[in-house]
Amino acid sequence: MKQKPSSEITTVSPAKQLFLILTRTSSSHPLRRSPRILTHTVTTDDGTAELNPRVTHRDGVVYYHDEPIDRYRGHLYGLALDIGTTTVVANLVDLENGKTVSVSSFENPQRFGGSDIMNRISYDGEFQGELRRSLIAALNSEIMEVCERHHFVRQEIYEVVVAGNTTMRDIFFKHDVQSIGQKPYKSLIEHEYREGTRSTTSLIEKVRRLGIRANPKAMVYSLPLIASHVGADVAADLVSIGIPAQDEVIMLVDVGTNTEVVVGNAKRMVAASCPAGPAFEGGGIEYGMPAYPGAIESVKWNDGQLNYETIGGETPEGETPQGLCGSGLISLLAELRRNNQMSPKGVFADRKQRVMSLLPEHGITFSREDASNLAQAKAANYCGQYIVLRHFGCVPKDITKLFLAGGFANYVNLQDAIEIGFLAPVPEANVVKIGNAAVAGAEAIGTNTFVASPLHLEMAGQDLSDAKRLTRLAVQHAKTAIAQSGRDVYIAGSVGPSPGAIEADSGDTTFGIPNADAREAHKLVIHTLAEEGVDFLCLETMFSAKEAALAVDVARETRLPIAVNLTYKWTKERRTGNIIYRTDWGNSPADLLEILTNNEFSGGNSLLESVSIIGVNCGAESRRDEHTGMPYAIAGIQQLRTALAETGIDGKWMMAYPNAGMPKLDENHNTVYTQTPTEMASHIPELIETGAYLIGGCCGTTPTHIKAFREAIASYRSAPVP
């Protein structure tokens, strides 16, 4: 196989956990800021450049950089496009609040020009313009469908941002791509940049010239290229990948029709694009399909019977599996090899057999031709990784972190992928899957800083100086997942309770820890979170209302929105028999409000005014499942609402993100949680009606839970806005 030459790059800039969904929007949104998707700073060839269109409206007029361009029709929308060789993803973004209004995808219609980049380049040279016209026609059709679905007109789209590999991007912008297919495999844009006639490989063009159905005065932007076939999509990846200050070597693998591989450290990076073809995106495989709900994501042979799992945990009632996505195909190859049903060359054990029936009841088969196409794609991925590793001067065991990017990363079994030679044998503990939380539909995600304070590190026997570094990396991890998702998602800076003995706090101590020490520990984490650019601070799983007040007093110095969440245990009141909620330190929701109002930390001033959101999270320890998970959250919000009403406090949003029930061990001694995504989502209407404004998941919840919550919220649609 002829491998395109790698490219050396220097750049800066790891993944995270989900937890929160914003159920509705409001004109007084405490988290509102300018839309990040079209205003953030991106790394370019010569440093940085801002994609900052500043589309605004006032007095019935729409302005672009303070220049009037249109009358205001009721919406300001932007369109973010990721143009892949096989699939095109379009995100409609509300420029007034930064929210993603619609996410849609469609097959790239250019397949008649070939399934891979080199064939597309050849076809475009012979039939110039045909590929582009087919893409624009499909995009315009998608735009009109989105307009109809969301009840607006195309003239309300004022900005378009494009990412994609070099060939896809340049075809879209009407540039000749023949030079990309010939040595030295560089686009005309890159040639011009290297010759000094262009200051950046980013592109900007008018909508009218490109024929896109948007406002005639709208502009179209593209992200910069890296080099050669390593395009704007990888630029977006690298902006968000954090590189340790030391000489640790990291690796990025973004699997697609063209798989991009990056290896490097803070001093030097090497990148390459591998012509893998569309097999692991479902192309060229008779029963292959993208990673959509219902696709088979893993298989297992047990006693001659093929068992399988579909994306989403289970197929919706009445729906049957349609095929296998990339992770399912990798799983299938691994199982066939383990069970000696296929040779390393892709030949079935029965050499005369051409087609294997996988699921006869659903008509799904797997052929030798399918195996051959997968083998070629696998070889391209594997060779690309080894060539880049060798060029950088290292081997797989030297990789401290392998970032597996994109939707593919959500489902692939690492052992299967390494076993069949799809991924370089990097230790599984060093592999980080990025992008899953935001793709699941979350509007906000939490940084993994719950126990990042020096007090926790001291208990764990770790270096206290790591607290700030770990906090910074956690925010970078969050930004990575957001960048991979292509969506605009809020980052919640997570602040957990101080460690210590379970005892009532009193005097100048909290949990037996001097208040001064607790304050300094919270201050380090909170201020670092603010410096790194989180959107709001989430003080969570607080056992003590007093410590919550102390943390609020520190957090208000940042002037960021603050959420305060206590975790409760349920108890039965002897006198009335009612179930009441108390923390381990005996605090009720009403106690929290009282202590925030009258506290010892703020010079007699109420801290309640600094708090935007109050809620419950985690879960009460109970043997009875009805007192955990969503039922726990509903009861907690009910009691919090009562406390707010009794004290006459209004203007506060209520928040709930419980555990998925209580953990237990299954027959294989794996920890599992008792409440399924479907079960938890069934409580969403009641939780909203009780008053919860922000809903999400804590321990045991997964991207599948969050997706189910999102769908339940979307179908509810009738909760009032405060």
State the binding site for Zn(2+).
618, 698-699
Alpha helices in 393-514 (DSSP H): 414-419, 436-439, 454-459, 466-485
Handedness of CA 641, 714, 98, 494 (dihedral sign): positive
Q: Identify each DSSP E strand in 196-315 by its residue range.
A: 203-206, 219-222, 249-254, 258-264, 269-275, 296-302, 305-310
CA distance 8 to 608: 53
Q: For residue 640, what are the CA distances in angstroms to 188, 451, 628, 645?
A: 62, 26, 17, 9
Residue 323 token pair: 């095929």
**E strand intervals along 460-556:** 490-495, 509-510, 513-514, 536-542
Q: How many CB atoms lie within 10 A of CB 109?
A: 17
Tokens of 248: 């640790």
Contact 207, 154 (CB under 8 A): no
Q: How far is CA 302 from the centre of its chain?
A: 34
Distances (CA, A) of 706 to 181, 449, 579: 43, 20, 28
Identify the bridge partners of residue 338 per DSSP, sorted by sequence position: none
Express the helix, strand and coil content of the chain in percent, nearest 5 each: 35, 25, 40
The token pair at 141 is 């059709």
Question: Which string of b and e fits 682-715 if b means at least 16 CB within 10 Å?
Answer: ebbeebbebbbbbbbbbbbbbbbbbbbbbebbee
Instruction: State the angle between helix axes of 466-485 and 515-531 in degrees (0 to 180), rounded to the nearest 10.
Output: 40
DSSP-derived secondary structure for 102-127: EEEEEE-GGGGG-SSHHHHHHHHHHS
Three-state secondary structure call for residue 15:
coil
Question: With contact defined as beta carbons under 8 Å apart, do 564 and 526 qualify?
Answer: no
- Work out the angle at residue 28's Cα, subtended by the Cα atoms of residues 22 and 30, and round it to the nearest 5 degrees: 55
CA angle 355, 360, 361 (to 5 degrees): 160
Binding residues, as ranges, are 618, 698-699
Burial 258-271 (b: 16+ CB within 10 A, else e): bbbbbbbbbeebbb
Residue 552 Rama label (left phi>0; alpha psi -120 to 50; beta): alpha
Cis geometry, peptide bond prior to residue 216 (ω within 30 degrees of 0): no
- Structure token pair of residue 530: 């603010």
The CA radius of gyration of the chain, in Å to the nearest whole number, is 27
Please identify which residue in the block is written with the tokens 């290229």. 225
